[in-house]
A = this chain, B = another copy of it.
Amino acid sequence: MNKKGILIVVSGFSGAGKGTLMKELMRKYPENYALSISATTRGPRDGEVDGREYFFLSREKFEKMIANNELIEYAKYVENYYGTPRAYVEKMLDEGKDVILEIEIQGALKVKEKFPDTLLMFVTPPNARELKSRLVGRGTETMEVIESRMNRACEEAEGMSAYDYLVVNDELDDCVEEMHSIIQGEHHRSSRNVNFMNDIKEELEELKGEN
């Protein structure tokens, strides 16, 4: 069966709990998965560590990476670049790890276009009311903030159907197991096992000759 890693993009509603989910998946299955770390030109915030949350790069360095095709995808928000360094992803895939990128929908679609075998997963709370209550938070947010979050959620919802799988994050543990099981299942897709099929066909023809 397919031993090469699968490139996986995980997106989801803000507040769907992607971060916690990814951390738990990595903790439970460190042999299976590698989490890609994005590069950015924005400065680190309190508590952020270079090489853990992001690779913090100068604008000059980032633009050089763009020019050298060293990024799988990148985008500019406000004044800052964000992108996925290619080298780490390819190294991990070759080692047989499934590599997870946690990026939003525009980036996800760009990756899928470049690498059609990419697996797109979308994380969602069980229903809209639960999503809203997570977005509203502890009641300390202004009307404006909540409204802008709800608008963003509506936009995110429009993108859902572009993803291959939906994962409902209700109970963290169940959700982690669901994701793991979906990804492991994907390794059995015949389209990911063309070599295996060709080997069987060739060997069968050879063995037929041995009679």
A-B contact pairs, 12 of them (CB 8 A): A128-B203, A128-B204, A132-B204, A143-B211, A150-B211, A154-B204, A154-B208, A157-B201, A160-B190, A160-B200, A165-B188, A181-B184
Q: In the complex, which of the residues B157, B178, B182, B208 contacts A204, with contact meaning CB atoms closer than 8 Å?
A: B157
| Most chain B CB within a 10 A radius of its CB, from A132, A165, A204 | A204
Given A127-B200, A128-B207, residue A166 in contact with residue B188 (CB < 8 A): yes
A188 x B182 contact (CB < 8 A): yes
Bound-complex Cα distance A204 to B135 (A): 12
Stretch at the interface among A21-29, A36-44, A191-199: A191-199
Q: Which residues of B have CB within 8 Å of A189?
A: 164-166
Q: Does A52 contact B (CB under 8 A)?
A: no
A120: nearest chain-B partner, CB-CB: B190
Given A197-B161, A200-B157, A201-B157, residue A150 in contact with residue B208 (CB < 8 A): yes
A131 x B204 contact (CB < 8 A): yes
Q: Which residues of B have CB within 8 Å of A188?
A: 165-167, 178, 182
